[in-house]
Amino acid sequence: MILEAAGVTKRFGAFTAVGNVSFSVREGEFFTLVGPSGSGKTTLLRMLVGMEKPTEGDLLLRGKIINAVPANRRPTCMVFQSLALFPHMSVGANVEFPMEIAGRPPDERRTRAWELLAQLHLDPNRYYDKNIAQCSGGERQRVALARALAYDPEIIFFDEPLSAIDARLRKFLQKEIKDIQRRTGKTFCYVTHSLEEAMVMSDRIAILRAGKIEQIGTPSEIYAEPKNAFVAEFMGEVNLLPVTGCVPRDNAPGAGEWTASLGKTLTLKLPSPLTVGETRKLLIRPESLRFLAEGERADNEIGVRIVNEFLLGSRTQYHVEASNGAALTVERLREDRPPETGGNLSRLGWDLADSQLLET
Ligand code: ATP
């Protein structure tokens, strides 16, 4: 393990911003801390970087406690949201700055800066002498990354570096940053409020809520098995129906009659049993819902009215309303059969294996 947090807490007065958090980051890993605003991501990152000391617990770099080692004495560096480039200096001078501080000779600095710029797809012939003020947002982002790599740090930390960049360029840079991490084999520790961004880039993700880690896992583990409704909801477009256990119609485990969503009774088959009166969230992904043809069956079926339909490239998204008033999102491939409507209602179905009962 290159980096470990062991029971780390940070309190500001009586307020606990980070509460007893433990995790470890592996050498060469792309590790992302993700969570909504105020969940403690920046506070945790500031402790990992050395800009803040934990109130309790330990931070370890290669097994050595580094709680009190200041940022400038750690073999790590940080790429900020604001990038913190020197605006009056050229691209080349910005990238060479860490090597200048380290006392490297000018020839070596220049050669390395050219290498790094080329690696980040900034043609050194064009960019080396260019002023930072003349660079676009995406170019500045790459200069900041080249400068971070010029420190040759053991870990590079990133604090929401793409949040101010427009959506198309952001997607491109996400792939570039991931690609650079792969090529350099460096350990990257990244903070974002976007789970989508975390999913694209990371080897593993830690999801924070109110200063605590809710779940740690690979993107596919988190996608396949979100630990609770908070994590599932944070993943974006998912259907989470509140279901409350009532008297099971038959005693078959998991199946039976349950009060589902908005208080009306629907007969649903559930993937695991409820106890009477208990309310949980039923997770059904939009792509797991399908419109049923005449005579076609599914474990669960409900009548729905299609409210809206959107084309999303290769998929079509339907916003539907169940007869009990619940709103659901359905996503089908464009080549799938369009929904059949009898009167105004379509039959929507899903199979038990495609739904999960989550803690709220
Ligand atoms: P965002 O995505 O909005 O940046 P975040 O997840 O990074 O949020 P933090 O900035 O770590 O959240 O803040 C976590 C909580 O700690 C917030 O409620 C914040 O108000 C509080 N907090 C952070 N720094 C301080 C401080 N110096 N003094 C008091 N409270 C603070």
Give pTM, 2 decimals: 0.84
Strand order in the sheet with 187-192: 76-79, 155-159, 187-192, 30-34, 204-209, 212-217
- 194 CB near ligand 1 (under 6 Å): no
- Please tell me the predicted confidence (pLDDT) of residue 83: 67
Three-state SS at 320: strand
Distance 12 CA to ligand 1 centre (A): 9
- With the most atoms of ligand 1 within 8 angstroms of its CB, the residue from 11, 41, 47, 194 to mutate is 41
Domains of the chain: 3-234 (3.40.50.300), 239-358 (2.40.50.140)
Q: Which of 11, 39, 41, 43 to mutate to test the pocket of ligand 1 (most atoms within 8 A of CB)?
A: 43
| Rounded CA separation 53/19 (Å) | 14
Work out whether strand 187-192 and strand 155-159 pair parallel, antiparallel, or are unpaired: parallel
Residues of the chain with pLDDT under 50: none
> What's the pLDDT at 254?
62
Contacts of 74 (CB under 8 A, 6+ apart): 49, 50, 61, 66
Q: Are strands 257-260 and 76-79 parallel, antiparallel or unpaired?
A: unpaired
Q: How much is the pLDDT for 250?
A: 63
Q: Are 82 and 69 in contact (CB under 8 A)?
A: no
Q: Tell me what pLDDT residue 160 has.
A: 87
pLDDT at 262: 64
- Residue identifier of the C-alpha nearest atom 19 of ligand 1: 38
pLDDT at 192: 93
Token pair 């539907």 in the structure block, residue: 320
Q: What CA–CA distance (Å, rounded) separates 50 from 14?
A: 22
